Structure 1
Amino acid sequence: MIPSETGPVLRADNVDVVRDGNRLLRSISVTVQQGEHWALLGANGAGKSTLLDLLGAVKHPTRGVVEVLGHRLGRVDVRELRSYLGHVNPRHALESGLSVRQLVLTGATNTIELVPRWAPTPEQEARADRLIELMGMGGKRDLRWPNLSQGERGRALIARALMPSPRLVLLDEPATGLDLAAREQLLSSLDTLRREHPSLATVLVTHHLEELPASTTHALLLREGECMASGPVDEVLTTDQVSKCFDHPVLITRAGGRWSARAAV
């Protein structure tokens, strides 16, 4: 299977997801083009993770069409398709004490641990080193996973996700559990990544506007499984629409490319 190099990176058309009689998503449609950087926002339980699972070819819709890299779910080997995606999950299930460099190299085999008797090529080693530098981890490539801070783990996992040169990277609440400094380092790294790879598309899930990089181009607001608004970020992340999405009056401001929200007086 060869991913399509043309057309949308992702397309969901009138998608429903029903599990155990509960409708988790209702009539969701979204198209992500090459070079776009989407944010999925909503309160806890809004359906963000469910939608991300569809876009990452982890789950199938109950109704509707989902196409990932030009291939329709239900008509493609999703295990092979997922090997062309970068997926960053801060709850990465690594149990051994791999170094940062070893962790990043597992992205070449799409495995959690290093594959026994597998040896990276010189080109793969060089790519891992470049990605580690790109994410600001050059001085920490030999540090072991148990000794990394949460922020360092997040940046290492993004480098790992980039090893197979994906056209799409999915980020599932990458700033979860980070303190202020670590969050800012992570978001700066994401902005750098997007500048260095202009054709890359990304989808980032969060429920905090402060966790959005300045390079975000589009947004989708979810509330109770339904799309409240979708499109260019400055048209979607407005005081009125975010207040409706979270069912609470908030004032949205943007300064220096970054967003903040506070309770409306």
Structure 2
Amino acid sequence: MGSVLKLSDIGFFRESREILRGVSWEVRRREIAAVIGPNGSGKSTLLRIACGYLWPTSGRVELLGGTLGEVVLNELRQRVGIVEATAVYPFDDDMTTLEVVVSGYFSAMTLGYIHPTPQQFTHGREMLAHVGLADRAEQLYRTLSTGQRMRALIARALVKKPELLLLDEPTAGLDLPAREAVLATLSKLHKVASSPAIVIVTHHLEELLPGTENVLLLSNDGRVIAAGAAGEVLTDANLSKAYGVAVHVTQRNGRFHAHVDPAAWLEMF
């Protein structure tokens, strides 16, 4: 399969502080991939560099066959879906869930003077059904639960049929059932033949999708500890190095889990 994203020797400074150092990684079509690392490791920064919202201090970004800086960025962005759990989405208070989803066609926070076509509304309903929110289409978006909002944002990101879907901590702050509903939604998406490549940014192994094939593990100073096949990257040694505490990794039913022995807690202080 061809590459949808290739990062080569990415470096990034913010206010004289080095956030990322020599990061190289590649994601292929229809792949489930993940960026893992502790808080402050530059995961979210890397995601925003990958889609052109931030410009690297050094290195090269190849996105969907084009090199950033040599292509029309707005055209490429039409082929990329991005959902950020910590971002503020200032949708109009009176927007329904369906209207929020359809606003994704226009990358807008309001429909205002925009007049979506009947076909766009129909497709929006199809996307809501896909994420399990068909019965919430006419409900005000602002009245949805946090987990439902996240699934609605995923539906919004999918309306333009992206080739790459980037998700920054999509299950942050969710309780167990809501987290699993989001993961189930993404797993269901990947089973569709037209599925985009999916990249999830997280610091919890439990939030990885079953079938995650490709993992980039970052240290707290923005360096690559390991990159490649999930089973080779997510080892006790690599995770312990990343998080600075003895971590034991297990795998069950395709899901990874990280464990820290309470006896090691004193070593953290």
TM over 0.5: yes
Do the aligned partners of 1:60 and 1:74 also contact (CA within 8 Å) in 2? no
Q: Which residue of 2 aligns with 1:54?
A: 49
Is 1:240 equivalent to 2:217 in the alignment?
A: no
| Distance change (3 Å), C-alpha of 1:197 and 1:153 | farther
Alignment of 1:55-134 (within 5 A): 55-90=50-85, 91-97=87-93, 98-116=95-113, 118-134=114-130
Shift of 1:121: 2.1
Identical residues among aligned pairs (%):
39
- Confirm or deny that 1:200 pairs with 2:196: yes
Instruction: Report how far residue 197 of structure 1 moved.
Output: 4.2
TM-score, normalised relative to structure 1: 0.93
Aligned residues: 259
* Residue 24 (structure 1) aligns with: 19
1:121 is aligned with what amino acid?
T
Offset of residue 215 of structure 1: 3.1
2:253 pairs with 1:256: yes
Q: Tell me, in whole angstroms, the C-alpha distance in 2 between the residues paired with 1:250 and 1:203.
A: 24
* Alpha-carbon distance between aligned partners in 1 of 2:192 and 2:129, rounded to the nearest angstrom: 12
After TM superposition, which residue ranges in structure 1, 4 or more long, deviate above 6 angstroms?
none
* Code of the aligned partner of 2:212: T
Give the letter aligned to residue 175 of structure 2.
D
Q: Does 1:152 align with 2:148?
A: yes
Worse-superposed segment, 162-171 or 94-103: 94-103
Residues 70-79 or 146-155, more deviating: 70-79
Q: 1:226 is aligned with what amino acid?
A: R
Match of 2:139, SS state, is: coil
- Kept after mapping to 2: 8 A contact 1:109/1:115: no
> Contact (CA 8 Å) 2:189, 2:195: kept in 1 or not?
no
Q: Deviations over 1:46-70 (max 9, x none)?
A: 0101110111111111111111111
Q: TM-score, normalised by structure 2?
A: 0.92
CA distance in 2, matches of 1:172, 1:262: 23
Secondary structure of the 1:96 match is coil
**Closer/same/farther in 2, CA of residues 203 and 124 from structure 1, 3 Å limit:** same
Indicate the residue corresponding to 1:174 in structure 2. Answer: 170
Partners in 2 of 1:113 and 1:208 — Cα distance? 33
Determine the structure 2 residue equivalent to 1:183.
Answer: 179
| Offset at residue 79 of structure 1 (A) | 3.0
Name the stretch that deviates more: 168-177 or 190-199.
190-199
For 1:210-221, list aligned pairs within 5 A. Answer: 210-221=206-217
Q: CA deviation at 1:20?
A: 2.3
Q: Give distance in 2, aligned partners of 1:155 and 1:143.
A: 14
1: CA distance, partners of 2:243 / 2:179:
23
Write the deviation string for residues 21-59 of structure 1: whole angstroms up to 9, x where unpaired: 221111111111101111111111001011101111111
SS of the residue corresponding to residue 112 of structure 1 reads coil
Whole-angstrom distance in 1 between the partners of 2:69 and 2:106: 24
- Over the residues paired in the alignment, what is the CA RMSD in angstroms? 1.5
Give 5+ residue unaligned stretches, structure 2. 264-269
CA deviations on 1:54-95 (whole Å, 9 max, x unpaired) are: 111111111111111111111223233222210112234224
CA distance in 2, matches of 1:115, 1:10: 34
CA contact (8 A) 2:215 2:230 kept: yes
Q: Is the Cα contact below 8 Å between 1:137 and 1:156 reproduced in 2?
A: yes
Tell me the distance in 2 between the aligned counterparts of 1:120 and 1:21: 45
The one-letter amino acid of 1:89's match is: E
Q: How far does residue 100 in structure 1 lie from its aligned partner after superposition? A: 1.0
- Runs of 5+ unmatched residues, structure 1: 1-5
User: Aligned partners of 2:183 and 2:149: how far apart in 1?
Assistant: 14
